[in-house]
Amino acid sequence: MLNKPRGYVSTLKDPEGRRLVTDLVENVPERLFPVGRLDYNTEGLLLLTNDGDLAQHLSHPRNHVDKTYLVKVRGDLSRSLIQRLETGIELEDGMTAAAKVSNVRGAGPHCWFELTIHEGRNRQVRRMCEKLGLSVLRLKRIQLGFLTLGELKSGSFRHLSSAETRKLKQIILIFLFIRYFFLRYAIIFRLTELELILVSEVFVLLDSYIGAVLPL
């Protein structure tokens, strides 16, 4: 787990010659690659691994892994804007899934809040805020699934414990079983589009619950 600073790209190479997140873990003997991406000016929790299957399952949007961001914007986050974030924002690539807004607090002309999403679109949080007329001044991922940054300093990393790695793999395995039975159910009972959406939302809630209750 790396606490990515701003000014690094989450790729293995960059044609512009910018600094890579792998530069921060160059003392690790294994060849690591990022699980998903944080853009150049976004900081916070980023997993790096040499396990390709684990990376694919964690980063794929259909697996509904919650990601929580600490967001600082210029302007005020009104109740109506919170409602729009939580019900979905129409972006160029389609409507976003329901998000969760928490810990809203003002600081002069700025506002801080936490935003939890489970999709992984390019610059999604920034684009959601921009659509509402909010200029993002700082963006930091503070949680991925059950993993949190804690006291990990910017630019530093730590190895996941064996218990944390085991829990990640258990969650992924459970999700795969749930998804298999969900698809079987949908085919057998020929669910309508609305019914599929409702069952999918239940799946998202169950996803979050499993991640929270499984012991380390």
CB burial string 114-144: b at 16+ within 10 A, e below: bbbbbebbeebbbbbbeebebebeebbbbbb
- Write out residues in the chain with pLDDT < 70, as ranges: 60-64, 176-216
**pLDDT confidence of residue 209:** 47
Which of 23, 39, 51, 76 is catalytic? The answer is 39
Q: State how beta strands 135-144 and 43-46 pair.
A: parallel
**pLDDT confidence of residue 122:** 87
**pLDDT confidence of residue 80:** 95
**pLDDT confidence of residue 2:** 97
**pLDDT confidence of residue 100:** 95
Tell me how far apart the terminal alpha carbons of the chain are, to the nearest angstrom.
16
**Measured distance CA(58)–CA(7) in Å, rounded:** 24
**Measured distance CA(149)–CA(44) in Å, rounded:** 7
**pLDDT confidence of residue 204:** 58
**pLDDT confidence of residue 200:** 60
**pLDDT confidence of residue 54:** 78
**pLDDT confidence of residue 205:** 54
93 is catalytic: no
